[in-house]
């Protein structure tokens, strides 16, 4: 299905005077110049949607189909196109191979082009055995003590790079499930060395203008140790590979109460933060809607991201992606909510008065420091988001527009009620 621009515009017009009033209200708090810069930055900000988040997710206990789910890659890209049309923020897709191997690369590129969607980081998959594969990843992939398993995993990653090249992608994200569930199961140093050697091999096949993004995660699917368990391990591996290798931070991949914003600051100072996976969590890698549980934390993380983007030219542009999916919401509504939460935190961070914060820090005025951050955090920045969207032709309220236009009903009509998207 395609939404007509006129449908969006007609709904937007109904909100016109309310929107103007709200925006004027913000002008009493912030200078015009800062408002304009913030709106422009919001308009430029694009977050990739993962090809595996468009169908209903599941847990290991069950999965409840949502109806109208995309049955192939074309339909997934069409869904991202719908979200992008409404939000103007989802102008990229991140593919997981082999879940979403494009059969006709030219046709997929053309469709994505038409919808204004580019191909962000490619994701390899060495955490599941594929039908007909010679080797099993039961005992690990890039870290395995079995040479043949390592070679198969390396070859797979190189194949993912080749597919990505055809699509115009510029980075490969590697997340390894490799780990041990029992003490003594493997030798820590041996598996780390294998991982480093395997990553170096993959890195040597990376085109010059590509990046290798190395994700870390403390536990799950293994519960005693994970080979790339934390940012330090990822950072060390990225350094061992070379200047095109970076650490990727996934918000759900930390033990409770980890100071993620400090990790962000350290990596950006070292020029080694390459990508970001957004989600939210209460307990572990819960993959809940961004901002659903800890929005202040998200703001503090964005505060460091903004500082880094403004002060660390040694750090490259980041690959942003939503890595959330679960089993009870309409996946498209869930993604719209996540995008909104990301932009809210970003806008609030952009509004932090950095000069005042610097002065307060120099004066060790702890109370003032907190006030400055919380003044920005407590600002309702949604008028700025709306203004950025409206200027780009998006919806005043993407979620309400999605509902008013009965997009899901239409998708169920077109695709049926028992479709099943590939993914987890
Ligand atoms: C692993 O938990 C992860 O966050 C990685 O990014 C994977 O690629 C993704 O989820 C999907 O399994
Ligand atoms: Mn992730
Ligand atoms: Mn994860």
H helix runs in 168-294, sequence order = 188-204, 231-241, 260-269
- pLDDT at site 295: 98
pLDDT category at 66 given cuts 50, 70, 90 is confident
- pLDDT at site 423: 61
- pLDDT at site 280: 98
> What mean pLDDT comes out for the span 75-94?
98
Task: Please state which of the ranges 22-31, 50-59, 93-102, 305-314 shows the lowest mean pLDDT.
Answer: 50-59
Residue nearest to atom 5 of ligand 1 (CA): 175
> What mean pLDDT comes out for the span 132-146?
97
- pLDDT at site 417: 87
Percent helix, strand, coil in the chain, to 5, is 50, 10, 40
> What mean pLDDT comes out for the span 219-230?
98
pLDDT category at 55 given cuts 50, 70, 90 is confident
Contact 54, 100 (CB under 8 A): no
- pLDDT at site 424: 58
Residues within 6 Å of ligand 1 by CB: 123, 175, 215, 217, 250, 277, 285, 323, 424
How far apart CA 3 and CA 88 sit, in angstroms, is 13
Residue 254 has pLDDT above 70, yes or no: yes
Closest atom of ligand 1 to CA, residue 250: 4
Task: Please state which of the ranges 61-70, 77-86, 150-159, 216-225 shows the lowest mean pLDDT.
Answer: 61-70
Higher pLDDT, 144 or 56: 144
Strand order in the sheet with 48-50: 118-119, 92-94, 48-50, 319-322, 273-278, 245-250, 211-215, 171-174, 122-123
pLDDT category at 300 given cuts 50, 70, 90 is very high
For ligand 1, the distance from its centroid to the CA atom of residue 350, given in whole angstroms, is: 29
For ligand 1, the distance from its centroid to the CA atom of residue 397, given in whole angstroms, is: 29
Distances (CA, A) of 273 to 128, 195, 298: 27, 20, 17
Residue 65 has pLDDT above 70, yes or no: yes
pLDDT category at 62 given cuts 50, 70, 90 is confident
ipTM (interface predicted TM): 0.98
For ligand 3, the distance from its centroid to the CA atom of residue 315, given in whole angstroms, is: 24
- pLDDT at site 421: 65
What are the tokens at 200?
Answer: 């170096």
Residue nearest to atom 9 of ligand 1 (CA): 323
Which of 60, 277, 320, 325 to mutate for ligand 1's pocket (most ligand atoms within 8 Å of CB)?
277
Please tell me the number of the ligand nearest to residue 121's CA. Answer: 1
Residue nearest to atom 12 of ligand 1 (CA): 424
- pLDDT at site 420: 67
> What mean pLDDT comes out for the span 85-93?
98
Please tell me the number of the ligand nearest to residue 285's CA. Answer: 3
What pTM, to 2 d.p., does this model score?
0.97
**1-29 pLDDT, tens per residue?**
899 999 999 999 999 999 999 999 999 99
Residue nearest to atom 1 of ligand 1 (CA): 175
Average pLDDT score, the chain: 96
Long-range contacts of range 255-260, CB-CB < 8 Å, 24 or more positions apart? 255/218, 256/283, 260/297, 260/301
For ligand 2, the distance from its centroid to the CA atom of residue 277, given in whole angstroms, is: 5
- pLDDT at site 58: 77
Closest atom of ligand 1 to CA, residue 123: 8
For ligand 3, the distance from its centroid to the CA atom of residue 252, given in whole angstroms, is: 6
Nearest to 118, CA basis, from 168, 44, 78, 83: 168
């Amino acid at each position: 299905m395609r939404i007509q621009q006129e449908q969006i515009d007609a709904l937007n017009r109904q909100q016109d005077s309310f929107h103007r009033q709200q925006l004027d209200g913000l002008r009493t708090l912030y200078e015009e110049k800062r408002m304009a810069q913030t709106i422009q930055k919001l308009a430029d900000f694009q977050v990739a949607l993962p090809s595996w988040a468009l169908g209903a997710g599941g847990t290991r206990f069950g999965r409840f189909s949502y109806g109208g789910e995309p049955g192939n890659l074309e339909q997934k890209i069409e869904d991202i196109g719908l979200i992008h049309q409404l939000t103007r923020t989802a102008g990229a897709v991140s593919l997981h191979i082999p879940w979403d191997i494009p059969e006709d690369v030219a046709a997929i590129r053309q469709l994505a082009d038409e919808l204004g969607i580019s191909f962000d980081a490619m994701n390899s998959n060495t955490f599941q055995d594929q039908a007909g594969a010679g080797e099993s990843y039961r005992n690990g992939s890039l870290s395995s003590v079995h040479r043949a398993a390592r070679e198969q995993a390396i070859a797979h990653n190189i194949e993912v790079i080749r597919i990505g090249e055809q699509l115009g992608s510029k980075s490969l994200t590697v997340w390894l499930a490799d780990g041990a569930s029992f003490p003594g199961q493997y030798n820590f140093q041996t598996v780390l060395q294998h991982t480093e050697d395997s990553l170096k091999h993959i890195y040597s096949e990376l085109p010059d203008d590509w990046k290798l993004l190395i994700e870390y995660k403390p536990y799950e699917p293994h519960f005693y140790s994970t080979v790339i368990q934390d940012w330090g391990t990822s950072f060390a591996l990225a350094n061992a590979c070379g200047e095109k290798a970076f650490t990727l931070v996934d918000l759900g991949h930390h033990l409770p109460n980890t100071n993620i914003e400090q990790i962000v600051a350290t990596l950006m100072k070292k020029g080694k933060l390459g990508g970001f996976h957004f989600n939210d969590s209460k307990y572990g890698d819960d993959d809940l809607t961004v901002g659903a549980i800890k929005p202040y934390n998200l703001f503090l993380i964005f505060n460091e991201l903004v500082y880094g983007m403004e002060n660390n030219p040694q750090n490259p542009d980041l690959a942003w992606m939503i890595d959330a999916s679960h089993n009870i919401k309409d996946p498209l509504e869930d993604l719209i909510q996540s995008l909104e939460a990301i932009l809210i935190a970003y806008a609030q961070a952009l509004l932090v008065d950095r000069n005042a914060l610097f002065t307060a820090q120099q004066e060790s005025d702890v109370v003032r420091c907190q006030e400055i951050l919380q003044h920005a955090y407590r600002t309702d920045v949604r008028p700025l988001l709306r203004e950025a969207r409206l200027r780009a032709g998006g919806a005043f309220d993407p979620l309400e527009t999605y509902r008013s236009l009965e997009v899901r009903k239409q998708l169920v009509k077109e695709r049926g009620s028992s479709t099943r998207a590939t993914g987890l």
